[in-house]
Amino acid sequence: MSIADYLSLYAIVAIWGLMFINIFLSIGGFIYILKVNKTDGRIPLKEYPMVSIMVPAHNESIVIRKTVLALLEFDYPLDRYEIIVINDNSTDNSAEVLKELQARNPHRKLVVINTDNVIGGKGKSNALNIALSVASGSVIAIYDADNTPASDALAILVENLMSDDKLGAVIGKFRTRNRNASILTRFVNIETLAYQCMNQAGRYFFFKLCTIPGTNFVIRRSIIDKMGGWDTKALSEDTEISFRLYRMGYYIKFMPLAVTWEQEPQLLKQWFKQRTRWAKGNIYVLIKNFKYAFDKKAGSMRLDVFYYALVYILMLTSLICSDSIFVLGILGLCHVTLGGFSTLLWGMAVLLFILNILITLSVEKNEFSFQSAMLIIVMLFTYSKLWVAVVVNAAISSIQDKVYHKDMVWDKTERFDETSNHKSKKN
Amino acid sequence: MMFKKIICGILILTFTSIIGVSAWAEERHAIPDGEILVIYSDGADKAAMQSVYDIVELLTYQSFKVSFVSASDSVGELDRFSYIICYQLENYPAELLEELKTLEQKTLEDKPIQDSGVNRYNILFMGNQCIRDYLDLTNHMDYQLNNIRTGKLTYNFTDLLSKESLVEENYFLFLKSSLDYTSGKIEVGNEEGYYCSSYGCITHIPVSDLSDKLVKAAFIREVAKWKWPYKGDPHTYAQYIVLNQVYPFQDPDKLLEIVEYLVDKKEPFVISVMPIYSNGNYPAMKQFCEVLKYAQANGGTIIMHSPINQMTTFDKDVINKYIKIALQIYMSQGVYPVALQVPHNWIFNNDTIEVMRHFSTIFTTDEVDVLVDETSIFNTNEIYKDGHKWVSAAVKLDDTNVSYTKVSSTAVYLDITESTKQLKDVINICQASNVPLKSLWDVDHSFWTEEDVLNYKNHIMMLNNKRIDTKFVPVNYDKNFKYNRNMLKRFSKDLSSENHKLIIAVVIVSLIFLSFIFIARSRNRHKFFIKNDSKDD
């Protein structure tokens, strides 16, 4: 067997292994979502806890008004929640927008913290820590500045959190608000449903494992205090906090009926920047927590560490191997002699990929269509390949940061004005 | 003063011409000695040169030392050779004919030798142009010209066995005098000539295209007679039935069936096995070798094909290493190959000659090793000096592959992938042939590698100075044989069968997914439409 044969064999085993893990999770996720969809997700409480909704915002004037208005509309006892917007070292007119909103809602508890570049401007984790210092709630809710949550989202999340003392956090589902803005946002929409929603549901269904997505979730204040706040070095503060929470003996629940709509990057450059940041963050968290994969005391979190390791190491290397062999094969520079290594294998993998994603679309309203099926095929050969570039870029960047002792920089995603559909740069 | 200069100039000129002449003489003696000299046209094309190589090869199988040169290079050297073949000579210096004329005259003058029936010089003209010019020059023999280009050749191998073929030349020339010898028949238009004729020391074969199988087979026979100094036919050599290029993974039952058929008929035979380099202890290999051992103990002889050359630059050390490995694998199973089988163009390459030097008996096939350069040896059949016993592929004159010539040892190669009936038919034809069958066990053989030396002499086989008994002993098979394949190898080997399992898994998963999609769609419809409608009502 040649080197190409060994690499092909590795790629086949890795890709099909990960494929079946995803199929397994999709089956669990599907059953869980059907089960949840039979209910309204509500578990009424005798007394609702005080909730501090924290919204970190850096140059978000385009979207912040819509977000705050949606938060003000929550179907939750008005005196039992506060909104804390951290206007983090913004150079746009966010401060004026927020001031105006405060003026228009004098009876609501809307706190705006404007920071400068001395105490602010150091990323999302730092902003959240600042907000935490003024928060009065026993439950913390986090929303990104570009979110438009459904009015019942907060109530569903909090009621579920209060239903079990072992629950550390409850996460909701997020959808793409600007789905039809570009082909890229259509891909992001499909990806979000398949790999954020269905995957989370599957992991929760089988293992009671979830990863906090960064927005639309509630967490107990006491846990955050015990943790000493957010890790300011982590770019993926959501993944990082999830791992810490599991190590403390709590678990996270996925509640897909609590929905928020968020704006996704419309241009490839912004998307690439955002995903690189996520990948770098996840690599940091993975490296930091990999030791727990072999620690029995870490409980079910070990599975999550393995899952991330599989995705970032196995999938990345196998895709690089298979794509390289494919390209070199076309150029006639390498030849695979493995028996049974045929286009049939490849065709079956494509079929399962499409069906797997179609399932996730089928449970959503207005998502399942022939057009979507076609988009999935296009996505497989375009969008999915970009993931490899993102992770490689993130890995190189992480190594450079380590070698040159650079601090992690939270690179904010640029927002778009959805009404005029023009990009507005505020930096 | 002037006189001195002239004297010096004359001396220098004389000195340089002496040096030049001696250097030229040295160069002239560059033609190696040989029993037969083959002369070809100046500026001969590729096809003509291929025919020259064919002639040299055929003469090598008859154990003749051959030299071959262009016409210009042969001038002044002819009297060193008793046997001269002028092959298709069209461009040549005039001195060549004069020299040939001198040789003929010397032969005629040499009365005592001529009376004994042995000529001092023997000249064979192949083709028609040169002999025509020669006869025009000497003017001592009549000839007949025919400008028709195509003729029908009929050649008798025995009184009862003749073969026919269409032959082509630019024109045909036939000698008209009372000839000492003629054989074969060529019909050109309404006239009839011979395939080969002799008069005195001159022999003529009008057709020269050796790519024609019948021309080639007839040439083999006639050149042997031409070279035979005595009356009657030359020595008779045998033909060998060879089950050719048998691989260990071929059906051993079929091989056994053919072997048993040959054993029952008490006919000697040879099995040419392909070399293998690993996994020699696998049960399948043991089973294959058991058949070979059975054959070996019952009149069959084993020979081994050379490793298939895939090197653009031939490396004899690599080939020798693989031959050593393959031989050791077979010998460890009690199978003793006694000869090497090679592509026929291996006899013209220095490196392949060195590889063959390890074996005393060589079988050649019709295969051509395209990666081996045939022109690395020029002017002689270098391999002659190694004294091999040659067995060449029989010239295929019909579908049976049976040999029609017996002037050198030939092999009738049988492809065991053919039907059993077909193989049995060929064996029966060989048995009925006028060319005798012979056992390789009746010939001495030897080979040596870096680690082993095998000698077979007087029916005793010695391997590394230990006597070998080829008696057949059945093998005990290990039912729980451990293949020691690592996981990767096993997985890759089984990938094809894994695919079937994968297809089943994919079909099941696809059906589950489709049913999920159907359930989800149905629920969504109910939730978002039917429910709303009923509420509206």
Percent of chain A past pLDDT 70, that is, above it, reads: 92
Tokens 């001396």 correspond to what residue? B11
Assign A381 to helix, strand or coil.
Answer: helix
pLDDT at site A57: 92
Between A6, A20, A359, which is nearest B513 by CB? A359
pLDDT at site B293: 93
The chain B residue lying nearest A357, using CA atoms, is B513
Complex-level ipTM:
0.73
Give yes or no for B496 touching A (CB within 8 A): yes
The predicted model gives B237-260 an average pLDDT of 89
Lowest pLDDT segment from A302-316, A399-413, B221-235, B236-250: A399-413
Q: Do A359 and B488 touch (CB under 8 A)?
A: no
Between A26, A30, A340, which is nearest B499 by CB? A340
Assign A366 to helix, strand or coil.
Answer: coil
pLDDT at site B263: 93
pLDDT at site B536: 39
Query: Which residues of A sit within 8 Å Cβ distance of B?
Result: 1, 5-6, 9, 12-13, 16, 20, 23, 26-27, 30, 34, 37, 338-342, 344-345, 348, 351-352, 355-356, 358-359, 362-363, 365, 368
User: What digits encode the pLDDT tens for the residues A116-134?
Assistant: 888 877 888 889 999 999 9
Q: Are B391 and B442 in contact (CB under 8 A)?
A: no
Q: How many CB atoms lie within 10 A of CB A337?
A: 11
pLDDT at site B493: 54
Give yes or no for B489 touching A (CB within 8 A): yes
pLDDT at site B471: 83
The chain A residue lying nearest B521, using CA atoms, is A362
Give yes or no for B513 touching A (CB within 8 A): yes
Asked whether the predicted pLDDT for residue B160 surpasses 80, the reply is no
The predicted model gives B192-201 an average pLDDT of 92
Assign B195 to helix, strand or coil.
Answer: coil
Give yes or no for B529 touching A (CB within 8 A): no
pLDDT at site B324: 95
Strands (E), B371-419: 389-393, 410-415
User: What digits encode the pLDDT tens for the residues B444-474?
Assistant: 999 999 999 999 999 999 999 999 988 887 7
Q: Do B509 and A1 touch (CB under 8 A)?
A: no
The predicted model gives B103-110 an average pLDDT of 88
Asked whether the predicted pLDDT for residue B488 surpasses 60, the reply is no
Task: For residue B114, name the pLDDT band (cuts at 50, 70, 90).
Answer: low
Lowest pLDDT segment from B5-14, B234-243, B296-305: B5-14
User: What digits encode the pLDDT tens for the residues B161-172?
Assistant: 889 999 999 999
CA–CA gap between residue A103 and residue B169 (Å, rounded): 114
The predicted model gives B323-338 an average pLDDT of 94
CA–CA gap between residue A124 and residue B431 (Å, rounded): 96
pLDDT at site B519: 86
Q: Are A147 and A173 in contact (CB under 8 A)?
A: no
Asked whether the predicted pLDDT for residue B490 surpasses 60, the reply is no
More confident residue, B375 or B167: B167
Asked whether the predicted pLDDT for residue B272 surpasses 50, the reply is yes
Instruction: Name the average pLDDT for chain B.
Output: 85
User: What digits encode the pLDDT tens for the residues B385-434?
Assistant: 888 999 999 998 887 778 888 899 999 999 988 888 999 999 998 888 88
| DSSP labels, A36-76 | HHTS------SSPPPEEEEEEESS-HHHHHHHHHHHHT-SS
Q: Is A304 exposed, middle or buried (0-12, 13-18, 19+ CB in 10 A)?
A: buried
The chain B residue lying nearest A350, using CA atoms, is B506
Lowest pLDDT segment from A29-43, A59-73, B74-88, B493-507: B493-507
Which chain B positions have a beta carbon within 8 Å of A339's beta carbon?
Answer: 492-493, 495-496
Smallest Cα distance from B510 to chain A, Å: 7
- Which residues lie below 8 Å from residue B17, measured CB to CB, with a gap of 6+? none
The predicted model gives B473-484 an average pLDDT of 68
Asked whether the predicted pLDDT for residue B530 surpasses 70, the reply is no
The chain B residue lying nearest A30, using CA atoms, is B516
More confident residue, A394 or B17: A394
The predicted model gives B9-26 an average pLDDT of 49
A112 φ, ψ (degrees, to nearest 5): -120, 125
The predicted model gives B212-225 an average pLDDT of 93
The predicted model gives B498-525 an average pLDDT of 83
pLDDT at site B382: 82
Q: Do A34 and B523 touch (CB under 8 A)?
A: yes
Lowest pLDDT segment from A176-190, B3-17, B182-196, B237-251: B3-17
pTM above 0.80, yes or no: no
CA–CA gap between residue A96 and residue A87 (Å, rounded): 11
Q: Do A16 and B502 touch (CB under 8 A)?
A: yes
Give yes or no for B525 touching A (CB within 8 A): no
User: What digits encode the pLDDT tens for the residues A314-358?
Assistant: 888 888 888 888 888 788 777 776 655 567 777 888 888 888 888
Q: How many CB atoms lie within 10 A of CB A248?
A: 12
A9 φ, ψ (degrees, to nearest 5): -60, -45
Smallest Cα distance from A304 to chain B, Å: 24
The predicted model gives B247-273 an average pLDDT of 90
The chain A residue lying nearest B495, using CA atoms, is A340
The DSSP output letter for B436 is: P
Asked whether the predicted pLDDT for residue B442 surpasses 80, the reply is yes
Which two three-digit tokens encode residue A48? Answer: 């609702």
Which two three-digit tokens encode residue A403? Answer: 């070698």
Beta bridge partners of B256: none
Give yes or no for B510 touching A (CB within 8 A): yes
The chain B residue lying nearest A24, using CA atoms, is B509
CA–CA gap between residue B302 and residue B276 (Å, rounded): 14
Q: Do B512 and A27 touch (CB under 8 A)?
A: yes
Smallest Cα distance from B523 to chain A, Å: 8
The chain B residue lying nearest A356, using CA atoms, is B513
Smallest Cα distance from A69 to chain B, Å: 27
pLDDT at site A344: 76
CA–CA gap between residue A116 and residue B504 (Å, rounded): 62
Nearest to A126 by CA among A231, A283, A245: A231
User: What digits encode the pLDDT tens for the residues A403-422?
Assistant: 877 665 555 666 666 554 44
CB-defined contacts A:B, below 8 A:
75
Pick out chain A residues at pLDDT < 50: 420-427
Asked whether the predicted pLDDT for residue B376 surpasses 70, the reply is no
B174 φ, ψ (degrees, to nearest 5): -125, 135
Asked whether the predicted pLDDT for residue B500 surpasses 80, the reply is no
The predicted model gives B215-233 an average pLDDT of 89
pLDDT at site B487: 52
Nearest to B370 by CA among B393, B342, B345, B392: B345
pLDDT at site B87: 95
Which chain A positions have a beta carbon within 8 Å of B517's beta carbon?
Answer: 355, 358-359, 362, 368
